[in-house]
Amino acid sequence: MDLTYALFAVLGFLSAALFVEGAYLAWNANRGPEASRMERRLRAVAQSGGGAAQTNEPTLLRDDAAQLSGIWKHFPHAAQVTTLMQQAGLTWKPSDFFGFSALCALLPAVALALASAPVWVALCSGGAAMFLPLWLVLHARKKRLGAIERTLPDALDLMARAMLAGHAFPGALRMVADEMPAPVCDEFRIVFQEVNYGVDIATALGNLTRRVPTDDIRYFVISVLIQRETGGNLGELLETIGNLIRARLRLQGTVRVLSAEGRLSAGILVVLPFVLAGVLQLINPSFLSVLWQDDAGAYVIGAAGAAMVIGVVWIRRIVRVHV
């Protein structure tokens, strides 16, 4: 009996281990780093080459309006949403974004309405939750653009060394696309593919500034275009730009360290009223109920909310130092 139990335990352990291993291999094959990298490459190639076969424009990158279909062609700001998704590195469509926004607005409004909350509370909560997808997209966009800015000096140094070694500008772009990590390699790969497929360098670099709207990319593009008009050593120019960007990032890091206390204080002051209200609601529910039971409570909450918004904007302007 003991031997049977031990054998059963060993077989159960092996089954669980094999199941976990199989689940991990299945996830890695579909959602792992290599699969994600291959998906980004295929998406970049599709975005670069799909428009040339459908339109008469000389660019390989499809226009935002060409990527919309059906009712979304006539929806306001749908093209801007598509561009925002490209900048954030997301595969969402405008229909996904607007549908997710509507769902985020509907769920809290219905939940509060079923909980017998005041109508204005349900509407305000739904309106605030509606912007949650936009915040997620903007956060992903900021994170991706920040990653590109941090790796751009190394990419420019690689291009400078390649050009000083005798490679042409398209060859230097290909080296960045092959050697540098994502997401900077993805953007330079699109530029290389556009140049390789016949798009002039000015148009390809202009598309790069649209996909990556940062000052560092604009400086790089302007420098390359000016050098093509006036001549000069582009390798040394790219090396100088890389050193300047690296020095700016170093100064920006110093400023963030010096302003960390102010940003932490701002976060605490913003979160503290909501935490305190939640604690009071749990300890004594009747203490805060006067805010929505009395007619003057709505004006008090509105005034407090407006004062908090003004305070957040004020503190944000104080602690944000542009470098």
Please indicate whether residue 17 or residue 217 has the higher confidence score (pLDDT): 217
How far is 315 from 269, CA to CA, in rounded Å?
Answer: 10
Q: How far apart are CA 88 and CA 138, in angstroms?
A: 7
Q: Is 170 in contact with 76 (CB distance < 8 Å)? A: no
% helix, strand, coil for the chain, step of 5: 80, 0, 20
Predicted TM-score (pTM) of the model is: 0.64
Answer yes or no: are the C-beta atoms of 79 and 210 closer than 8 Å.
no
pLDDT confidence bin for 45, thresholds 50/70/90: low
d(CA 206, CA 188): 12
CA distance 224 to 157: 14
pLDDT tens profile 214-251: 888 998 899 888 888 887 788 888 888 889 888 888 88
User: What pLDDT score does 61 carry?
Assistant: 44
Per-residue pLDDT at 59: 40
Q: Is the pLDDT of residue 55 over 50?
A: no
At residue 70, does pLDDT exceed 60?
no
Where does residue 228 rank: exposed (0-12), middle (13-18), buried (19+ CB within 10 A)?
middle
Cβ distance 224 to 202 under 8 Å? no
Query: Does residue 74 surpass a pLDDT of 60?
Result: no
Find the mean pLDDT for residues 267-278: 83
* Residue 153 and residue 242 in contact, taking contact as beta carbons nearer than 8 Å: yes
Lookup result for tokens 């009996």:
1
CA dihedral over 7, 12, 15, 18, signed as positive or negative: negative
Residue 213 DSSP one-character state? -
Q: How far apart are CA 92 and CA 67, in angstroms?
A: 12
CA distance 243 to 188: 19
CA-wise closest residue to 143 among 194, 89, 203: 89
